[in-house]
Structure 1
């Protein structure tokens, strides 16, 4: 756990190697310190051959107000570790990471830092899996850094992308859950509630410029394999969001799963769904 003023958040995180994995503090391209951890792949049970290759790693991007140590993300990491090594991290403004949340804008740099770290550890194939806000981040990251390899951003690209419970467009207020979220993000009182009650520190400035929308990002991801997952009980984003993403994506390299009974993001993702997503990733890794 980390505590103290915002300036002490990153300094109070300790880089170490433990029996259960490896922890590190990463520095983003724009100078924010990000806490991260690597969980090794769990040895598969005795049975037929076909274990995933050791060079595959899954980088998990949590939803808004999540963090590396939150139980839902740890549960997802444990499920995916049955298929590959897993890297988790806390976005800026969350957990022990420094900075303040920009609610999906500059967080692309946090994911890029985690992907670079994964490759520095020897993983040749990187799958990015994002939930909700993290789902929009993995889409924009794949679009920007896939093209950006030609611009000198070597090592930050994803080879496989999974977006779970993500919005298709910005500023959506069509559900009660999203209206509450907009109050938290845009009002001083809401940001205070977020900092004290949700342990999430939010930047007080509007986006300038407005980042590339998820729908505009998905056509730029091909030929990278992309899986879009959404629940028919999602209280934040109704089904027009995943359908908009699928309509904009390359159908040759993109799959859409509409999951009956599934709610929203990592908090609602059960073992069976996480297992199927892990299998999909491993088959392409």
Structure 2
């Protein structure tokens, strides 16, 4: 069955800025927030999107400046992204959804939760919740040299760079062939999008330094998931600390899994959503 058989899409405007989203299913709302460097909301179609849609209204927006969504002022700050996406979801009748965020999408999830304390719950999968050292490549792309280097990554260097990035993100698990094809065809094909991704990673730490001081106030059921082989967002400096800092958090470690746990361990995410639904 093709995506067209079960998935719909749409756009909504917030402050004259478009937000593109994919949607499926009916029931209690779940919003899926994609990471940085993993394309856009379509990333979730390789994960839990379709299964969750059996019992939920599931929406996966493209975050600002990515995919079909317009860039917004201040979008390097996850709090600005959270406010914008929350307003977009409100425009389509989604209020206080259960949030599921992967990687930087988890950062936006935390920012959203800090401003919406009555959320029913959140799943933080390989999430970035504390300041971290941005990889050198992202610093380069976020800086002045990025204007010259990003077109190379989107063009002649794309195939090799994307294969290496996917292998590193999935490792030690193999990447599904269909995900590799998606990455080669769809991810980091536009130099502007590459730089937007790089800036949000390179510039996230000041916002996280402020956010982390308030995690103890989040009385929201939280499921924190991480692979113990995640080289991109190490669990010891992120997931384990999040589980300790969030008052109502439950930690699930996934042995032998890397960063892309929403794809390599979808059942763990589905179980986490199920637990929150029963909370």
SS at match of 1:98: coil
Gaps of 5+ in 2: 159-187
- Write 1 or 2 for the structure with the bigger share of helix: 2
Cα distance change of structure 1 residues 207 and 283 upon mapping to structure 2, 3 Å threshold: same
SS at match of 2:48: helix
Whether contact under 8 Å (1:26, 1:113) holds in the other structure is no
Cα distance change of structure 1 residues 266 and 233 upon mapping to structure 2, 3 Å threshold: closer
Whether contact under 8 Å (1:83, 1:278) holds in the other structure is no
Match of 1:116 among 67, 77, 90: 90
Match of 2:40 among 57, 63, 67: 67
Q: Which moved more, 1:230-239 or 1:97-106?
A: 97-106
Q: What is the distance in 2 between the residues matched to 1:234 and 1:209?
A: 19
Match of 2:129 among 142, 152, 168: 168
TM-score by length of 2: 0.70
Cα distance change of structure 1 residues 105 and 75 upon mapping to structure 2, 3 Å threshold: same
Matched ranges for 1:42-57 at <5 A = 54=27, 56-57=28-29
Q: What is the distance in 2 between the residues matched to 1:39 and 1:93?
A: 23
Q: What is the distance in 2 between the residues matched to 1:185 and 1:229?
A: 29
For 1:127, the equivalent position in structure 2 comes to 98
Q: Displacement, 1:20?
A: 3.1
- Over aligned residues, Cα RMSD in angstroms? 3.1
Number of matched residues? Answer: 232
Q: What is the distance in 2 between the residues matched to 1:218 and 1:195?
A: 37
For 1:202, the equivalent position in structure 2 comes to 195
Q: What is the distance in 1 between the residues matched to 2:262 and 2:30?
A: 18
Q: What is the distance in 1 between the residues matched to 2:85 and 2:45?
A: 15
Matched, 1:247 2:244: yes
Whether contact under 8 Å (2:48, 2:262) holds in the other structure is no
Cα distance change of structure 1 residues 124 and 114 upon mapping to structure 2, 3 Å threshold: closer
Q: What is the distance in 1 between the residues matched to 2:204 and 2:275?
A: 36
Cα distance change of structure 1 residues 240 and 201 upon mapping to structure 2, 3 Å threshold: closer
SS at match of 1:279: helix
Q: What is the distance in 2 between the residues matched to 1:97 and 1:127?
A: 21
Whether contact under 8 Å (1:73, 1:266) holds in the other structure is no
Q: Displacement, 1:22?
A: 4.1
For 1:102, the equivalent position in structure 2 comes to 76
Match of 1:58 among 23, 30, 54: 30
Whether contact under 8 Å (2:131, 2:205) holds in the other structure is no
Whether contact under 8 Å (1:93, 1:201) holds in the other structure is no
Whether contact under 8 Å (1:60, 1:88) holds in the other structure is yes
Whether contact under 8 Å (2:46, 2:263) holds in the other structure is no
For 1:27, the equivalent position in structure 2 comes to 13
Q: Displacement, 1:129?
A: 0.4
Cα distance change of structure 1 residues 74 and 233 upon mapping to structure 2, 3 Å threshold: same
Q: Which moved more, 1:132-141 or 1:185-194?
A: 185-194
Matched, 1:144 2:115: yes
